Amino acid sequence: MQDMPDGLHAGKVALVTGANKGLGREIARRLGGLGMTVYLGARDEQRGRQAADALRQSGADTQFLQLDVTDQHSVRRAAERIGQEAGRLDVLVNNAGIAVDAERPSKQRPSSDIRATDTTAEHMRWTYDVNVFGVVAVMQAMLPLLRRAPAARVVNMSSPLGSLTLHADSASRVSQAGLLAYCSSKAALNLITLQYANALRGTGILVNAANPGLVATDLNTFSGPRTVEQGATAAVHLATLPAGGPTGVFLGDDGPVPW
């Protein structure tokens, strides 16, 4: 799928974290296709440069930006660079994420997700460093730049696995998921989304959570039934909301997800 450049989004400045592969790379490609200048955030220079170069060759204005969301210096340097080069940030997609408790399946252990009762504090810290504290660190650093944009949009990549409503429903498959570290990190991200949406209401900055669905990426050893093209659609929609669009919603391309 290719979105066409239009007068509405051309020239906007976007940052996608964790964009060297998977959903982040596809979101960066699509925002670039709309004519935005996209900072492709990646913690690894080689992987990030490769992805940015490939997207540039397909016509998108993408710039590699070294960004490890768990490293304060890296986050601060990233904000400084965007500030110096662009002076503002129109779109922030907090996409970087890990699932350390979704262990790689093998022939011996086809399903090896760690059960809640076996989850350690270390699994939690490792996961929260990226999926929770990383989002807050990036948001804190980028907020002055978002405030300088006329109508900034923030998209947090969440999951139904973070839904308290679905976890509380024993008939829902989500309630059988396990993955305590990952699921609770996305539940925290959902509350963080609502807090920012409420705090920034009336400023023109809209903050929402996107549900990509179950997408085949490294995160799940490519076991998801959906493609990255399908999975990126909700995030691109929320990143390009018009003035007066919603804030504090949790949306997939098939509709709202219960918090």
Instruction: Kindly list the catalytic residues.
Output: 182
Burial state string for 20-45 with b = 16 or more CB within 10 A and e = fewer than 16: bbbbbbbbbbbbbbbbbbbbbbbbee
State in angstroms the smallest separation of the CB of 209 from ligand NAP: 10
Please state, in angstroms and rounded to a whole number, the distance separating the CA atoms of residues 8 and 65. Answer: 24
- Pick the binder of ligand NAP from 3, 5, 47, 136 (CB under 6 A): 47
Q: Which is nearer to ligand NAP, 202 or 225 (CB)?
A: 225
**CA dihedral of 13, 16, 20, 21, whole degrees rounded to 10:** -130
For ligand NAP, the binding residues in 109-138 under the rule CB under 6 A are 130, 134
**CA dihedral of 59, 61, 63, 64, whole degrees rounded to 10:** -40
- Pick the binder of ligand NAP from 209, 212, 232, 259 (CB under 6 A): 212
Site string for ligand NAP, 51-90 (x = CB under 6 A): ----------------xxxx--------------------
* Residue 102 neighbours by CB distance under 10 Å: 21
Please name the residue that has the structure tokens 């839904």: 163
Under the binding rule (CB under 6 A), the answer on residue 23 touching ligand NAP is yes
Single out the segment in contact with ligand NAP by CB under 6 A; choices: 52-60, 166-174, 212-220, 243-251: 212-220
- Pick the binder of ligand NAP from 9, 15, 20, 239 (CB under 6 A): 20
Under the binding rule (CB under 6 A), the answer on residue 184 touching ligand NAP is no
Single out the segment in contact with ligand NAP by CB under 6 A; choices: 84-92, 112-120, 190-198, 216-224: 216-224
Q: What does the DSSP assignment read for 183-245? A: HHHHHHHHHHHHHHHHHTTTTT-EEEEEE--SB-SGGGTT--SB-HHHHHHHHHHHHTPPTT-
Interface residues toward ligand NAP, by CB under 6 A: 17-18, 20-24, 43-44, 47, 67-70, 95-98, 130, 134, 157, 159, 212, 214-215, 217-220, 224
